[in-house]
Structure 1
Amino acid sequence: MLLQIVDDNETNLMLFEQIARRLGPEVEVACHADPLAGIAACEAEMPDLVLVDYMMPNMDGHEYVARVRAMPGGRDVPIVMVTAAAERSVRQKALELGVTDFLAKPVDPSEVRVRLNNLLALRKSHLKLKNQNRWLADEVAKATGALLEREEELIVRLARAAEFRDPETGGHIHRMAHYSLLIARNLNLPKDTCELILKAAPMHDIGKLGTPDGILLKPGRLDEEELVVMKRHPVIGHAILSGSTSQLIQLGAEIALSHHERWDGLGYPHGLKGEAIALPGRIVAVADVFDALTSDRPYKRSWAVERARDLLAENSGTHFEPACIDAFFGAWSEVLAIRERFADPELPEDAGLAGMV
């Protein structure tokens, strides 16, 4: 524990130092006859207790207290001011500035020792509690982080479960999620929202877990009845994910339900139009279609990226929200980097070339 004593009177300084030295070996004493030197010492290392005289040259006790309180870590340090017994107005102002206690001249050495000892004990208890609170905050943060990691792991595993039933690849999940992140960033969405979209986007097709294999895995195009069944997967996905208290899973439910809606109202499952469609769904729609077009499937070959880009541009304002298309094109170099980073293995040359479902 560091006790600082500031008094321009050498006799008083020696007296207070002698009293302080009797407080025990754990108390380190620093004496300053010049208040400016005392302030410099506080800036270098904040003491655990300050004993300061009121009447001093260069800087009185009021200014000294004000400057200590304004320093980092100075708000909670006990400060004892030494004043004349009759200086009531001085004491009033000192209290307003944050003085903890007073000693009246002439001082009683026994009283000084007891007061300083009590204040150091109080300071020690305060620091212990502060450290405990910091430790508790760290533990809560660790526990919260662990819960979020488990939540994100569950989402990834759900997305993988959907992959096993779908001819789409794991690369598709990563690519479309990162495309969605690019769009969200270029739309100037808050950083935490962008991160949530990145993590929630892989849940977009969770509803395909409820789609029959004969339809989900059928090579070539689906007939009208099969399309009706396939178009139920957004509702199924929403049903799987809805009702959670997790903000991330709630967003996943919203994306699952809305990513097949169209800007012109001709999408499904509810035929929503324009801004009635949730923004995350409008974002994922662009990312999902682009990656579907530019990816190989067992039943089709991938499109060239420029051909897919042209199709997106042609459908801006009909299938897709124009702002989302502009945001996607505005990060084109990053789009190409993501395609390379999460590239799929090439399909055999004899893979089917049927049209995309």
Structure 2
Amino acid sequence: MATQPTVFAPGEDRLTEKELRALSPQDVLWRHRSVAGLSDALIMMVDDEMLNIEMTQAFLVEAGYRHFVQTDRPEQALAMLRKQLPGVLLLDLSMPRVSGLEILSSMRDDPVLRHVPVIVLTSSTDPQTKLKALAMGAMDFLSKPVDPSELGLRIRNTLAASAYREYLGQHDSLTALPNKQRYRKEVADVLAAAQKDGYDGALLHVGVDALGRINDALGRTVGDQLMQRIAKRLASCVQTESGGELSSEQHNPMLYRFDGDEFAIVVPYMEGVHSAAAFINKLLEDATVSFQRSGAPELFVTCSVGVSVFPTDGMDPDLLIRNAGWPCAMPSRRVRTATSSSRRVSTRWRRAGWT
């Protein structure tokens, strides 16, 4: 028996990344880490010959790079790396006191430094030395004397690959929204600012009701399309609050993909819980998606919202996140009420706000 296609309400089924990445003008969007912006990366150079450093930097300045840190004392390299993490390290291998291979070995054992991309600049032609450096984590090699054009291209490619890897590690692949790791970091930053300046804020978790049953009945592809459409609607709703009454001086409301059927929103500032009521009602309204299969009645997918308010509900990030997400984890969610602590939000009470 042929499967009937699922037809969503008018609108795009596949959403562009540009439409979904609308909420963090500072640093989380890939478009701000594009090739055109890589010239802002910090480049660190370690070589025991200062003349080599000066010549390399002159090449890179001509190629458009602007930010550098360097040392001709390799024994200071690790301390400098920990103080100011570079976008790429240009490392000589043959140096007195501390060799480039020793620096690579120490970086590999460091949980932070191991992720710094390293380009080795060496006059050595020994293939075993190159293999050893690659095994220790070096990403690329350049032979001395360095060709300026090749140096610029190798650095550009290394920075672009590193930035894209970082982007993938911090964003959800389906919706292109910042992921749970970014969310937890933002929560910690917002709570620190709120505690310092003495204002209130909230964490909102938006769960898609009965997504598992939709996946089981209609297939994962339909479920993924549904999540993309809801992500787009939530992103548009959150974007309208940027710079508004729910923004602090340092932060704007931001949307994240928290889990399989769950989104999260950080509201960094509010003047009492009632100031966020209209925003929550709009979230619930905009997140309602309808779809239909041929010969079947139109179906509506709704969302539940959980809320944790700080400092009223505490200042511990894990506790606030857990309380906000609790309503979204309830197994019997349909078109129903969502609760967090003593607060209640419902699709039936959109116009009434908080109860």
Fold shared by both chains (TM-score > 0.5): no
- Structure index of larger Rg: 1
Q: Shorter-normalised TM-score: what interval?
A: 0.3 to 0.5
- The structure with the largest helix share of the pair is 1
TM-score with structure 1 length normalisation? 0.39
